[in-house]
Amino acid sequence: MAVFEPEAEGIVLDAEETGGGIVGRSPWALAGRRLARNRIALAALVLFVLIVAVSFAAPLYAKHLAHTNPFESNISGTVTIDGKTRQVLEQGGGKLGLGETPIGPTWHSHYLLGADNQGRDVAARVLYGGRSSLLIGIGSALMAAFVALIFALVAGFFGGWTDAIISRLMDLIWAFPLYLLAISLATVLLTSPHGLTIGFIQVAADSLWIPLVIIGIVYVPYIYRPIRGQVLSLREKEFVEAAIAQGASNLRLIFTEVLPNVASTVIVLMPLMIATTILTESALSYLSIGVQAPKASWGTIIQDGQELLYTRPWVAIAPGIMIVLTVLALNILGDGLRDALDPRSKVRVKG
Amino acid sequence: MAEPLLSVKDLKVSFRTEDGLVRAVDGISFTVDEGEVVGIVGESGSGKSVTMMSVMRLITDPNVIYEGEIVYKGRNLMGLSQDAMREVRGEEIAMIFQDPMTSLNPVYTIGWQIEEQLNEHNDLKKGQARRRAIDLLAQVGIPRPEQRIDDHPHQFSGGMRQRVMIALALSCNPDLLIADEPTTALDVTIQAQILELIKNLKRDFGSAVVLITHDLGVVADIADRILVMYAGRIVEEGNKEQIFYDPQHPYTWGLLGSIARLDRPKRRRLTTIAGQPPSLINRPRGCSFRPRCPQAFDRCSVEDPALTAKVGDGHLDACHLSVEDKRARRDATIRPELAESA
Amino acid sequence: MAAFIIRRLLWMLVVLFAITVLVFLIFFATPGVDPARQMAGRNPSAATIRSIKHEFGLDRSLPVRYGLMMKHMFISRDLISYGSHTRVIPEVVSATPVTLSLVFGAAVIWIVFSILTGVAAAVLRGTIFDPFLMILALIGISVPVFWLGEVVNLVTQSRLHDSFLFSWVPPLGYTPLTQDPFMWFKQLFFPWLTLSVLYIGFYARVLRANLIETDSEDYIRTARAKGLSERRVLFRHTLRTSMITFVSLFGLDFAVLVGGGALLTEVVFGLPGVGLLTYNSLTSLDLPVIMTTVVYAAFFITLASALVDLVYAWLDPRVRLA
């Protein structure tokens, strides 16, 4: 009799059909209906799915449209635009007319947004970068949620010393400035020249796993806190007490009573969490302690574009716009989910 | 007969919700005379609070729709501007709410909150408001009011907080005091004290009182007249004697049957009213109480009974049964001893 | 009260100890990380590394090294940087006013604008302005601050620098307030705006949600029943209680920024503040500087959380300090 048990049938009856009685609907069905009515949230969902789809189609774009390998420098290459052949790295063009300036946006399939310092196609790189950014963002958010959930369930269910120790540990990580922890971990893990060896696990220095795990770790307390609170209050609820009285085991309680109830909190938190982790990843990568070359992410591309900022601003602007769109879509979606799943947003009619 | 202090005419209050229009109050009319105590009784969801909140125009839900008239001292409150309405609120009509634990602002001292009310409606010199607040606290029975005036609400017990709420409500000598379930959130012993206080203050201040409650027992002692509400409508109206000695509507019988009485020697079962109040979105055809009414017959499911006087002056009820039928069935349902009760 | 202060001081010590140990372990106990190698430059000989290790005491055992570092930091206050070979503490002290200037200015902007936006959105609820303002706020929290800084630089330093709008914008950098207040202001103006955007969005949203939640409280209904004007209900009752959350959030965010959390803004605008110092020391594995800035940051953050609790208790009389 979990409060948030998803109802398989989810049949929605009108008041008329039931002769004006009170109609029971599962909270999930209600939430789904509310979300479906929230047009802005739906638009955000479509935008996010679109960004994900486009990013994961990066190899297709690079191969079939841009005809380039965005990970290979192309310093002496040429490109033909409207019948004219141009150098990818043009001579001069800076303030003093010295040095080389990569080609600017062509608005054609080749070098749509221009090239970076090494003559690589920026548009294709932004798509590939999106793949890394999204993978790390989603992966680290999932990891943080998973670890936090386990800690919260253990702390909430065993209470006493277990709870005290886990909660103090989380408080400590919480008191540690997030950026310091992330940067410390990233610096250390990335300076070891031959990658990392922990036991039998070998991780290459340019592996996406490193930023993913770092970001996953630092956000654990942010999810742990609200969920532990909820688990504790759930334990006091009548239906959990009833299950305990019936002799249900802890494991059974966790899976049948607590998890379904905690799920809505986690679901509401997820888009917001992914938005945050994507921002964090981009910041770390911008400081060159996130994703490592030759791999690219939106953050690293913005960093590449910094020295070209005044001559070829699109290198830095394009990935930034992608970040803003993605994070904005996730935030709107998170808002919509919260409104849909939060029972307090229902209209209250008092006697 | 003088014009009543408050006269509500065919008031309808509905809320637009995502499931449809909720008709919380569905066409009710009643009056309150000067100095009179009127009890409004009904289950939660019967529309009694919404009615009185509408009188104060305190419903802030943007989805609310009002129809009908609320005439107070000859003025239709529905037509007043927000500013004109503010003059009425607190000064002419005051309200006490159900939960004293949450009805006072936790961050200000009680003195500050009473003085704020006094200064809003009166032109008081410095120090005057404070002295008046101390007087009021003494009048509602707060011990050591000079010291307690600087305490915050959380430093008071529930009963004491309700006294503070009453002091707040009475601070501008209102002509009408609306008490919305003033004792529901309190302990039984405190309940009696608060009711006694309201009764005494009514005498001292001469205000009319509308007492909203789900418990007929609460109004038994204090009310002159009683309205019984069900599903947004009045189903029975009469003076105290009429409602308690000769209740006409089966719903009122049910309410009477569920009062716990300690003064009866014989132990008896409390009766309950089976079922749930109807949906206020799609009202069933016919009488709203029919699905829960053990006395229902064919006509009840077809025709909506009107509120009319059948047994005597000012005693109205909305039931299709004939008076004889009602009395016979009633006495069979809620034992003969009712006749002796007061 | 005294018990509260003692408890908080003890917790602060625990946090500082735990954080320094954690940072120390991260930098010295992670396999494959070697500050000596970092200091020795390219292709060092084994002998060079050994002498560097000896010079900086890196050949001692971990607890001894930790103890020595703490002694130099707190007792003799003569901790030497691995990188610049100068004393660390004066370096941090000279970076502090830069960060304080940046964060104070941004905080003023973000408080003013977030309250304006949050209150406006809550008051205009039900009109088109509420979702409009909230989408603006969401955009604010969705923009990476370093990218926004770059775009601001692009516009003010390059593209529109020669137009009358931005011709007054000086080159990136920092001028102390005591040296040239006008220059100080001009150089910090865009960093302030850039840093505050995120917080304006965030605080406006929090405040709006709080205002709306508070508005359905029973005591707000009481305030209306008293016949108070909507303006008075809003400012003296709804806003007053909503500010409790606002203030406690502000205390912590402010402390994190003063502690070096504004490093992205400092990097983009070339401001030599604590954040930039921290970042440079982290990337060069300059552990004495890292430790000092970490202690500095953790000190501010724990201090701020204690202060926030005090202010909280003052704002909300229901809370008792324990």
Q: What is the pLDDT of residues C103-134, one digit of tens each?
A: 999 999 999 999 999 999 999 988 899 989 99
Delimit the domains of chain A by residue range.
129-295+327-333
Q: Which of B16, B105, B171, B177 to mutate to test the interface with C (most CBs of C within 10 A)?
A: B105
Residue C281 CB neighbours (<10 A): 26
Q: What is the pLDDT of residues A211-230, one digit of tens each?
A: 898 899 889 988 888 888 88
Q: Which chains touch B (3 or more CB pairs under 8 A)?
A: A, C
Question: Could B105 and C228 be called an inter-chain contact, meaning their C-beta atoms sit closer than 8 Å?
Answer: no
Residue C51 · residue C57 · CB < 8 Å: no
Residue A31: its pLDDT value, please? Answer: 75
Those residues of chain A that have pLDDT short of 70 are: 1-25, 27, 91-99, 191-201, 205, 342-351
Which residue in C215, C227, C230 is closest to B121 by CB distance? C227
| pLDDT at B236 > cutoff 70 | yes
Question: Could B283 and A21 be called an inter-chain contact, meaning their C-beta atoms sit closer than 8 Å?
Answer: no
**Could you check whether the bond before residue A343 is cis, i.e. omega within 30 degrees of 0?**
no
Q: Helix C287-315 crosses helix A178-191 at what angle (to 10 degrees)?
A: 160
Residue A319 · residue A313 · CB < 8 Å: no
Q: What is the pLDDT of residues B195-219, one digit of tens each?
A: 888 888 888 888 899 999 988 888 8
Query: Alpha-carbon Rg of chain A, whole angstroms?
Result: 25
Question: Could A313 and C302 be called an inter-chain contact, meaning their C-beta atoms sit closer than 8 Å?
Answer: no
How far is it, in rounded angstroms, from Cα C157 to Cα C163? 11
Residue C83: its pLDDT value, please? Answer: 76
Q: What is the pLDDT of residues B300-333, one digit of tens each?
A: 888 888 888 888 788 888 888 888 888 888 777 6
Q: How many residues does chain C have?
A: 322
Residue C286: its pLDDT value, please? Answer: 83
pLDDT band at B254 (very low <50, low <70, confident <90, very high): confident
Question: Could C151 and A279 be called an inter-chain contact, meaning their C-beta atoms sit closer than 8 Å?
Answer: no
Interface predicted TM-score of the whole assembly (ipTM), two decimals = 0.86
Q: C292: distance to nearest CA of chain B, Å?
A: 41
Q: C201: distance to nearest CA of chain B, Å?
A: 26
Q: Which of B19, B51, B56, B58 to mutate to test the interface with A (most CBs of A within 10 A)?
A: B19
Residue A342: its pLDDT value, please? Answer: 66
Residue C74: its pLDDT value, please? Answer: 82
* Interface contacts (B, C; CB < 8 Å): 73
Please give the residue of chain B at the shortest CA–CA distance from C243.
B107
Instruction: Compare B149 and A31 and report the one with higher pLDDT.
Output: B149
Q: What is the rounded average pLDDT of the residues B57-62?
A: 85
Pairing of β B225-230 and β B37-41: parallel
Least confident of A241-250, B222-231, C217-226: A241-250
For residue C87, the SS3 value is strand
Residue A124 · residue A66 · CB < 8 Å: yes
Instruction: Compare C229 and A10 and report the one with higher pLDDT.
Output: C229
| Nearest by Cα to B325 from B239, B249, B258 | B249
Q: Give CA separation, A323 vs A62, A283, A316, A327, B143, in Å.
A: 20, 11, 11, 6, 63
Q: Where are the alpha helices (DSSP H) in chain B?
A: 48-55, 82-88, 110-121, 128-139, 145-148, 158-170, 188-205, 216-220, 240-245, 250-257, 323-333
pTM as predicted: 0.84
Least confident of A54-63, A141-150, C205-214, C311-320: C311-320
Residue B314: its pLDDT value, please? Answer: 83
Residue B334: its pLDDT value, please? Answer: 64
The phi and psi torsions of A318 (rounded to 5 degrees) equal -60, -50
Which residue in A20, A37, A350 is closest to B283 by CB distance? A20
Residue A17: its pLDDT value, please? Answer: 34
Question: Could C259 and A177 be called an inter-chain contact, meaning their C-beta atoms sit closer than 8 Å?
Answer: yes
Pairing of β B20-32 and β B6-17: antiparallel
Question: Could B48 and A351 be called an inter-chain contact, meaning their C-beta atoms sit closer than 8 Å?
Answer: yes
Q: What is the pLDDT of residues A4-26, one digit of tens each?
A: 333 333 333 333 333 333 445 67
Residue C309: its pLDDT value, please? Answer: 80
Provide CB contacts within 8 A for A274, sequence distance 6+. Answer: A137, A138, A141, A330
Which residue in A19, A20, A347 is closest to B63 by CB distance? A347
Provide CB contacts within 8 A for C284, sequence distance 6+. Answer: C38, C82, C83
Instruction: Kindly report the CATH class assigned to A129-295+327-333.
Output: mainly alpha
Residue A192: its pLDDT value, please? Answer: 63
Instruction: Determine the straight-line distance between the first and last CA of chain B, rounded to whole angstroms.
Output: 28
| Nearest by Cα to A310 from C265, C267, C167, C155 | C155
Which residue in A22, A37, A350 is closest to B279 by CB distance? A22
Residue A195: its pLDDT value, please? Answer: 59
Q: Does A194 touch chain B (CB under 8 A)?
A: no
Q: Which of B49, B107, B113 to mutate to test the interface with C (most CBs of C within 10 A)?
A: B107
How far is it, in rounded angstroms, from Cα B77 to Cα B11? 12
- The pLDDT mean for chain C works out to 86
B282 CB neighbours in chain A (<8 A) are: 15-16, 20
Q: What is the dihedral of CA C42, C45, C48, C49, to 10 degrees?
A: 80
For residue B238, the SS3 value is strand
A13 CB neighbours in chain B (<8 A) are: none
Residue A316 · residue A309 · CB < 8 Å: yes
Residue C23: its pLDDT value, please? Answer: 82
SS (H, E, C) B29-60: EEEECCCCEEEEECCCCCCHHHHHHHHCCCCC
Q: What is the pLDDT of residues C15-68, one digit of tens each?
A: 888 888 888 888 777 766 666 766 666 667 777 777 777 777 777 788 888 888
Residue C196: its pLDDT value, please? Answer: 96
How far is it, in rounded angstroms, from Cα A317 to Cα C39? 36
Residue B265: its pLDDT value, please? Answer: 52
How far is it, in rounded angstroms, from Cα B173 to Cα B205? 7
Residue A194: its pLDDT value, please? Answer: 60
Question: Could A180 and C26 be called an inter-chain contact, meaning their C-beta atoms sit closer than 8 Å?
Answer: no
How far is it, in rounded angstroms, from Cα B103 to Cα C206? 24
A191 CB neighbours in chain C (<8 A) are: 32-33, 38, 285
| pLDDT at B342 > cutoff 50 | no
Q: What is the rounded average pLDDT of the residues C91-100?
A: 92
